[in-house]
Amino acid sequence: MSDRGPVVSHIGVAVTDLASALAFYRDVLGLEPGSPESADGATIVSLPLGETQIELLVPESPQSPVARFLARRGPGIHHICLRVQNLDQALARCRAWGYQLVDQVPRAGAGGHRVAFLHPRSTAGILLELTE
């Protein structure tokens, strides 16, 4: 990656019904869904959208974080993922500035990429995922 700043990697959208979500993103907009993956108790289907992606999240169990989000807020934007140059450095900076981390250290997210989440309490109600 060049030395530009963070970019939007993807936008995670929580849905209850994958088929009706795909009817919009795939059939109406013509985006090409990737193969479904599994992470954090959710089935994830990514659709490339220019240099970013829409990530559809469907809960696999009622206890999963996405299921709890849906129960509380209904379908909608679940998180925004920003790609940074150096994830460890970005986390250290967030910690130093007092931002609340969900993940103290990076872990494997969808596609095996290293990710870490910031708590929405720290970030104006938006669950932010950082990746590199």
Binding site for Zn ion (CB under 5 A): 12, 81, 129
Q: What's the closest the beta carbon of residue 55 comes to Zn ion, in angstroms?
A: 5
- Toward Zn ion, which CB reaches closer, 96 or 111? 111
- Toward Zn ion, which CB reaches closer, 22 or 82? 82
Q: What's the closest the beta carbon of residue 14 comes to Zn ion, in angstroms?
A: 11
Query: Rounded to an integer, what distance in angstroms lies between the CA atom of residue 76 and that of residue 13?
Result: 5
Query: Rounded to an integer, what distance in angstroms lies between the CA atom of residue 44 and that of residue 36?
Result: 5
- Toward Zn ion, which CB reaches closer, 12 or 65? 12
- SS (HEC) of 8-41: EEEEEEECCCHHHHHHHHHHHCCCCCCCCEEECC
Q: What's the closest the beta carbon of residue 19 comes to Zn ion, in angstroms?
A: 21
Query: Rounded to an integer, what distance in angstroms lies between the CA atom of residue 43 and that of residue 35?
Result: 10
Q: What's the closest the beta carbon of residue 34 comes to Zn ion, in angstroms?
A: 13
- Toward Zn ion, which CB reaches closer, 8 or 22? 8
Q: What 3-state class would DSSP assign to 3?
A: coil
Q: 71 - beta bridge partners?
A: none
